[in-house]
Structure 1
Amino acid sequence: MTDTQTSAPAALAGIRILDFSHLLQGPFATQLLADMGADVIKIERPGKGDLFRSLTFRNKWVGGSESPNFLAWNRNKRSIALNLKSPEAKSVIMEMAKTADIVVQNFRPGVMKALGYGYEDFRAVNPRVIYCSGSGYGEDGPYVDRPGQDMLVQGLTGIMAATGQADAPPTPVGAGFSDQIGAMNMVYGILSALYWREKSGLGQEVKVNLLAGMLAHQNQEMVMALNFNEDFKRPRSGIGHPGMDAPFGTYPTQDGWVTIAMSPYRTLVGVLGNDDLLVYDDPEKLFAQRDEIWRKLAAETGKWTTAALMEALLEADIWCGEVKSHLQAAEDPQVRHMELVTSYEHPRAGTVKVVAPPVRLSETPATIRKPAPLVGQHTREILREFGYAEEQVSSWLASGVAYADEAPE
C-alpha cells in the first residue's frame, strides 16, 4: 500500500518524534502532531505492540482483526518493534535519539527511567531533545503508585459528581475525556517547548498529568466552588449544568431531544405558547425552582416534533440544538459540509472511517498520509534509514531484538 501523497507543505515537516506511548493520552497527542507533518516513529513491544491493539468495544474488530481504539489514535505513524530491555535495542534507540526532536511516553512514573530511557538518558546524547511525559497524577506524591486511568481521574476531580441528575449515580463523560484533555496539554507543552528551542537552542522536559489537566479544564467550576466554599448540587431534572438555572438543559420532543442553552426565558415561553409559565420569569425563581420549571417546559416541548421545535426556536434566536447519536452526528449536514468524517485504507482492516483532523491551517493543512501501522510494520525501513545493514537487521529480527509484521504490498 502506498502512502497518500500531498503537494501541500506540512507545518511540522522535518520534526521527528520517538513515540513510546500507548493507549490514548500519548497516542492522540502524537497523532495530532503527525497530522501536521511530524515523522512519528512509534516504538512498540515485539509481537504485542500498543495495549490498545488488544482492547476494543463490545468485542468488535474492524476488518475482523484490528482494534477501533488503536485505529482511532495512530494514523500517520510508522511502527518499529524493539525489545526495550535488549542492549542492542537501546543502542538503536539512542542512535535514533541523536536526530530526534521529541520523545513522548506515558508509562507509570519511573518505568522509563528504570529501563534507561529517562529524560537525562536522552539529553546525554541530544541536548536539544524535548522529552514529554504523561502520567495520571504527576511524578511523585501520595498517588504516584496509583493507576492513572481516565474514569478514575474524572471521579477524583469533581466532574463526575457534577454530571447527571441528583438521584442518579455520579456520571462519567461518555468518552475518554481526561485522556483527551491530557493529549491536548501534551501538544500544548510540546509546541511551546519547540518554540522556545527555536529561540534558545535548548531542549527541555515537559510533564503533563491527567489530574492537573482535568482541574484546569474545570476552572470556572473550581473558581465558583473555592471562592464561595460551596459545592454544586446536581439538578433532579434535565437541567444541563449544576450551576445553571432554567431553561438551560435538555428537553424531550415527540421524536427525540433538543438542547436549550442561555436564552431569554420570556422569549422561550412565547415560542412554546403557554403564558402561564411566565409566573417563573424571575432570576431567583429560575434557579430555585429550576427542576419544577424544567418539567413544565418539557411538557410543552414534548408536544412538538424536533424539526418543528428547532425551526421555531431558531427563528426566535433561541440558542438550541438537536441531540444526536454518534451515527446521527456523522450524517449531520454541517459535519458533512465541513468533511469532518473521512477514511483511510488499512492493509488488513480495509476502509477505516475516521474523524478528520480538527484544526485547519490555510498554508500547511493537516493531512492523513498513512494508516495506523501494524506492529513493527516499518522496522526494516527505519533501521535501514539509520544505516543498519540488511544482515544486521535480519539477525535482530531472528533473535527477538526487533520484530516486524510487514504489510502486504
Structure 2
Amino acid sequence: MQKIVFIALGYAETRFRLLGEDLSEYSSSKSIYKGRGFHQLTGIQDSSGLYNEAGPYEKYADFVGNKNIISQPDLLCTQIHYAIDSAGWFWTDKTNGKSVPNWSSASNTEYIKFRAEYFSKALGKQLNEVSHLVEEDEKYFWLQAKMLNGYPKGQKLETNPYGWTTRKKAFDILKNEVFEFDKRCKGNEELEFNEDGVLAKMKKIVDKHYTYKQETNKYRTEVSDEGLKYMDCSELVSRYLYELEVGVNKSKNEPIYMTTANMVNEKAFRKILGNENIDLVGKEESFKPQRGDIFAWGYSTGNSWNGHTGIVYKYDETKDLVTILEAVGSKGSADESQNTKANGGFSGKGQTRTAVFKRTSKALVNHKGWFGYYRPKNYTKKL
C-alpha cells in the first residue's frame, strides 16, 4: 500500500514527466524554490508571499551532502535521482519529512477537534506510515493528499485536495489493476507473489514438518529427499543459501556445512560461505527486518554451544510481527506463547515449521547471545 500511495500521488504531481512546477497563477510557481521533484518539494513562503526561502531544499541538500542543490534547485527536476530521492526523503524522514499534526480532540477550536477525532489513527504519523491505514479506510489517502498540498486552517472535509479526481483515479488504477491489492493482499499481509521463488520453496519444505535432528553425516548437505528427512536450524538456512546460489559447496554442488557458530559475526559468516554475499544489516532492537533476511543468536555454556537461526518469510510492520521459517528443537522457542495459530504460526515443536513472533520478542532480538539479521546479496534467483 505504501508503494501504491507514493506512486499515485507522484503521478498526480508530475504525470511522470513534469518534474518542475510550470508558471501559473499560483505564487509557488513564480518562486525560487517552487515545486520540484516527484512530490514537488517546495520552499517556505517569505514576506512577499513567494516561496523564496530554501527550507526543505536546504535540509535535503544537507541530507544528501550536496549544497549545490540550494544554489541550483533545478537539480531536483533535471537529475532523476534527486527527483525521486527527494520525494522519498520528504515522505519518510522522521525529522524533516511531512507528518500529520497531533491535533487535539480536547481543543476548543472546532476544526481541530474534528480532525483529531476523524483522523485519530494518523495523528503524529509520517505520511509514509499513514499508508498502512489506507487499507482499512481510504479516508486516510484523502488526508495524505490534503497534507501534501495544504490543509488550510478552518477546513474539515468541505474542500477536496487539489487535483483530487486525478489522484483518486491513479490510486484506484494502481490498487485494483496494477498491484491487484485486494486479490494479492489480505489484512496487510503479503501473499506469495513468487510461487516459484526461493522463499516459497523453503516454506513448502518447512511446512512438511520434517523431524528436527542435528545430523553430522552426508545427509546434512545432500540434495535429496533423504537429505531433507531430518534437519536442524542451520542446515535449513544452509539449504536456503544454496537455493539462492549464495552458499554453495562448488566441489560437490551442494549446501555448505555450517552451524550457528559460523554466524557469530559478518566476517565469520562470509568466511564459511567463501564469499562476501552476506551482510550484517541490523542487530539493534529498533531494526526492522525484511523478507529474505536471516536471523541468528548463539552463546557458549561451559563446553557446549547453544544457537538458533532461521529465515524471515515476511514482516508485518502494522502488527510488528515477524514470520519465520525454522527448524526448532523439542523445547520450542523462548517465546512460544506468541507463536499462535491466530497469528499464522504453527506451534509444533521438534520439527521444521512456520512460526510468528513479535519483532521484539525473546525468540528474536531479545534472546541471549543475539547476533542480528543478515541479508544475502548478489543472487540472481527469484527471492
Instruction: Give the TM-score, by structure 1 length.
Output: 0.23
Bigger RCO (CA 8 Å, 6+ sep): 1
